[in-house]
């Protein structure tokens, strides 16, 4: 396959190409589901997320307390490992679900969880709310989607740095400083509305004040323990976020108007599903983003006959993803074409990097 470098910037050549090719805010394929069934699946409830959030917070407090108790000995390491994953990785799925407003039925609970989890995953809530909105409008459309984690060729160095959220956190830190100074980047200006900008600037200042307070607490106590509990867990505990996150779209088709071809549904074990809040049903989530995380397994059953075969495990997904990413380093035109079941409706699509390649 011919290498075809793309321009992933939101203000570059492929952004204009996406417009020309009718890929912007386009009509996407959706499996037909009876309205009554879909309404049942979309129904909101507070109880699953209250239960899961209480368990999550209790585990955070317990592991954090254990880490503090054993601070200074090696015994604190397993406690920090658990605390870090709950803080720096599972906050990703909480941020995500609450951002969609589907975690709880009660609005303020979604808002509260969204802001808490945003800080924990070290993302600016307003910027990422709008970025994620665009990701759902133009999923893996080059030049439009700000959340393409594995561009072609993939940036392996950044991916490796992000095992501990280093590149992403550095980017966030620079953004915080820019926003605290009252400025948006040119790319951010393409998806953050004017009337939301003041909120971006205010929250950036609040984040910086919190980080400064943690740094001050470290200086006063002469210990990095405060930062190990607030701030640093986003880094040392962030590895499961990228582990889950890369499975969503990496290596699959670009510029297709069908989530079955650019997203993965993977069967995961119950612990992963708790940490990830069922986002392993990623085709289902993208096709019907109003369905809460706790109803995704039922949605999966409802549409599975129209979808490609799910991956039987995370391991199976990575056996595809890792070789694909390595191959894309030297052959950026390569991608995994998912097979739809026979006799299932397919949408005409642009097969990724083959269409009108950027120079």
Partner 1 sequence: MTNEWTDACAIDDIDEEDVIAFEHDGHEYALYRTEDDRFFATDGLCTHEQVSLADGLVMGTIIECPKHNGRFDITTGQTKGGPVCEHLKTYETQVRDGRLFIRTG
| Residues at the interface with partner 1 (CB under 8 A) | 25, 35-36, 39, 42-44, 100-102, 105, 107, 129-130, 133, 136-137, 193, 195-196, 288-290
Q: Whose Cβ is closer to partner 1: residue 128's or residue 164's?
A: 128
Q: Whose Cβ is closer to partner 1: residue 128's or residue 311's?
A: 128
* Pair of tokens at residue 214: 């943690």
Question: Per-residue DSSP letters for 130-191?
Answer: HHHHHHHHSTT-TTT-TT-SS-SS--HHHHHHGGGTHHHHHHHHHHHHHHHTT---TTHHHH
Least distance between partner 1 and beta carbon 17 (Å): 20
Nearest to 123 by CA among 91, 101, 97, 151: 91
Q: Tell me if 153 sits within 8 A of 332, measured CB to CB.
A: yes
Q: How far from chain centre, in Å, is Cα 62? A: 26
Question: Which one-letter DSSP state was computed for residue 110?
Answer: H
Least distance between partner 1 and beta carbon 346 (Å): 21
Q: Whose Cβ is closer to partner 1: residue 137's or residue 185's?
A: 137
Q: Whose Cβ is closer to partner 1: residue 35's or residue 330's?
A: 35
Residue 70: burial class (beta carbons within 10 Å; 0-12, 13-18, 19+): middle
**CA angle in degrees (0–180, nearest 5) for 206-210-214:** 170
Q: Whose Cβ is closer to partner 1: residue 306's or residue 325's?
A: 306
Q: How far from chain centre, in Å, is Cα 261? A: 18
Q: Whose Cβ is closer to partner 1: residue 67's or residue 113's?
A: 113
Q: Whose Cβ is closer to partner 1: residue 51's or residue 107's?
A: 107
Least distance between partner 1 and beta carbon 100 (Å): 5
Least distance between partner 1 and beta carbon 27 (Å): 9
Rg of the chain's alpha carbons, rounded to an integer? Answer: 21
Q: Which residues does residue 265 pair with via DSSP β-bridges, in sequence order?
A: 281
- Cβ atoms within 10 Å of 212's Cβ, excluding its own: 10
Least distance between partner 1 and beta carbon 277 (Å): 16
Least distance between partner 1 and beta carbon 42 (Å): 5
Least distance between partner 1 and beta carbon 21 (Å): 18
């Amino acid at each position: 396959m011919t290498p075809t470098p793309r321009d992933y910037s939101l203000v570059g050549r492929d952004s204009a190409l996406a417009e020309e090719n009718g890929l912007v805010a386009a009509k996407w394929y959706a499996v037909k589901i009876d309205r009554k069934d879909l309404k049942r699946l979309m129904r909101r409830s507070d109880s699953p997320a209250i239960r899961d959030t209480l368990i999550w917070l209790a585990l955070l407090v317990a592991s954090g307390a254990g880490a503090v108790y054993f601070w200074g000995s090696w015994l604190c390491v397993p406690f920090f490992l658990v605390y870090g994953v709950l803080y720096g990785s599972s906050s990703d799925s909480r941020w995500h679900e609450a951002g969609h407003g589907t975690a709880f039925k009660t609005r303020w609970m979604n808002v509260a969880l969204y802001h808490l989890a945003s800080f924990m995953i070290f993302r600016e809530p307003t910027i990422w709310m709008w970025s994620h909105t665009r990701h759902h409008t133009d999923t893996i459309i080059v030049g439009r989607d700000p959340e393409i984690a594995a561009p072609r060729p993939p940036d392996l160095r950044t991916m490796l740095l992000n095992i501990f959220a280093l590149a992403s956190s550095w980017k966030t830190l620079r953004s915080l400083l820019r926003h605290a100074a009252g400025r948006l980047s040119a790319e951010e200006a393409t998806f953050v509305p004017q009337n939301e900008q003041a909120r971006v600037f205010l929250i950036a200042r609040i984040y910086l004040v919190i980080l400064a307070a943690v740094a001050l607490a470290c200086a006063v106590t002469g210990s990095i323990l405060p930062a190990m509990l607030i701030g640093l867990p986003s880094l040392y505990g962030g590895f499961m976020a990228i582990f889950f996150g890369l499975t969503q779209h990496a290596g699959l088709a670009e510029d297709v108007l069908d989530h079955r071809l650019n997203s993965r549904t993977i069967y995961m074990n119950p612990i992963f599903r708790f940490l990830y809040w069922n986002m392993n049903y990623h085709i289902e989530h993208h096709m019907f983003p109003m369905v809460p995380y706790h109803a995704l397994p039922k949605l999966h059953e409802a549409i599975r006959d129209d979808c490609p075969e799910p991956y039987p495990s995370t391991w199976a997904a990575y056996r595809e993803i890792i070789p694909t990413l390595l191959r894309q380093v030297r052959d950026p035109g390569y991608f995994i074409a998912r097979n739809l079941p026979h006799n299932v409706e397919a949408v005409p699509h642009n097969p990724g990097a083959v269409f009108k390649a950027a120079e």
